[in-house]
Structure 1
Amino acid sequence: MKEYIIQFKPFLVFLAKFAASYLLLTFVYQTYLHQFDEKKMEVDGFTQLVANQSQKIISVFNANCYTEGNPKEASVKLFYNGKWVARIIEGCNALSVIILFVSFVIAFTGKLKPTLLFVLFGSLLIHFFNIIRIALLCMALYHYPKYDSLLHDVIFPLVIYGLVFLLWIVWVNKYSFYAEKPTKK
């Protein structure tokens, strides 16, 4: 048994770091979310920020875009050309995706400063791409409503998860302690 633990130590350390950071960050996020009462249709501040930023991105292409609270559920309604095209809920704000991203980076440890900078840069990049993703999704839903399932459930999740996957590859290959360092000649 001891030889298996020694043999799989890097994997077990990775798994422990990932699980610990993921659970901690998820606990912090859930604590934040519990401040808002869904029964009163309260939307958390970050989801509201994402909805407002998405509306501003859409307004660059078309000034007839606005958001309003949803009286029937804890969400933000997004209107495009006078038509309600999307509801933005807590799951749309990408914070759970950012938590997953950060946990992976922590699990594949690197030096402190590059780790903090990569987490910050990566989180901001994910947030920015998520806002663009929502804006493009809303415009696509307006023009192609019959493809709502394909757009919302397949195409646009590929964008955000594809970005996270690319960031992970860059992290592991360039900045983590597992990255190959160039040999000096």
Structure 2
Amino acid sequence: MKDFLPVLKILVRFVVLYIVLVLLYQFYLNSYAEEVVDPFTRNVAEQVASFQSLVGFPTVLVDSMKLHSVLFQTFGKFTTRMVEGCNVISVAILFSAFVFAFYKGTKTFLYVLGGLILLHILNVFRIVLLNIIYLKYPKYEKIGHDYVFPAIIYGGVVMLWLVWIQFFALRKKK
């Protein structure tokens, strides 16, 4: 049993932190249940719309209380809609819990902060590209939404995890 103690500690740390973060996030979401979307989701939608407009795809946001989402309208056409699940927080919680499970002091906080910023940027680009696909290449909507773009965001998380494990968590102190 002594051999499994380090693994058990990591697993317990991950599970406890994951549950706490999920509960805090749910509490946050519940406080905005009467809104179209929560403020962070709206902020992500605004960043996507701004970036799309910057790269030549002028976009306006349209609130839909019925769908609890913000719709992207580009060139007068609705492309996709921004819902809470698209804001990358759920993925960020998973990422953070895993990294903190292998806690290595201050660098853990710095790595998580950098990783969260990177995941957020990756997510904004992912949604922008998805909207462009919906607008320009509608026959690729399903494969883009269901396979390619989830692979991008989850692939980013896995790459960050691998870097954390390889270069920080398992690195022996000299």
Q: Above 0.5 in TM-score? A: yes
One-letter code of the match for 1:69? D
Aligned partner of 1:73 among 46, 63, 67: 67
Q: Does 1:157 align with 2:158?
A: no
Where do 1:65-104 residues align within 5 Å? 65-104=59-98
Aligned partner of 1:121 among 110, 114, 122: 114
2:88 and 2:123 in contact (8 A); partners too: yes
Provide the residue aligned with 1:9 in structure 2.
5
Please report the TM-score for the alignment, with normalisation by the length of structure 1: 0.89
Unaligned runs of 5+ in 2: none
Q: Distance in 2 between matches of 1:174 and 1:82?
A: 48
Provide the residue aligned with 1:139 in structure 2.
132
Deviations 1:95-154, CA, capped at 9 Å, x for gaps: 0000000000011121x2111100111001101110111011100111111221100010
Q: What percent identity do the matched residue pairs reach?
A: 39
Q: Distance in 1 between matches of 2:65 and 2:109?
A: 40
How far did 1:180 drift? Answer: 4.3
One-letter code of the match for 2:43? L
1:22 and 1:103 in contact (8 A); partners too: yes
Provide the residue aligned with 1:64 in structure 2.
58
Q: Which moved more, 1:57-66 or 1:167-176?
A: 57-66
CA RMSD of superposed structures (Å): 1.3
Larger Rg: 1
Where do 1:34-73 residues align within 5 Å? 34-37=30-33, 40=34, 42-73=36-67
1:64 and 1:82 in contact (8 A); partners too: no
Where do 1:17-36 residues align within 5 Å? 17-36=13-32
How many aligned residue pairs are there? 174
1:41 and 1:70 in contact (8 A); partners too: no
Please report the TM-score for the alignment, with normalisation by the length of structure 2: 0.95
How far did 1:42 drift? Answer: 2.4
Unaligned runs of 5+ in 1: none
2:49 and 2:58 in contact (8 A); partners too: no
How far did 1:179 drift? Answer: 2.2
1:173 and 1:180 in contact (8 A); partners too: no
* Secondary structure in 1 matching 2:71: strand
How far did 1:63 drift? Answer: 4.8
Q: Distance in 1 between matches of 2:107 and 2:35?
A: 40
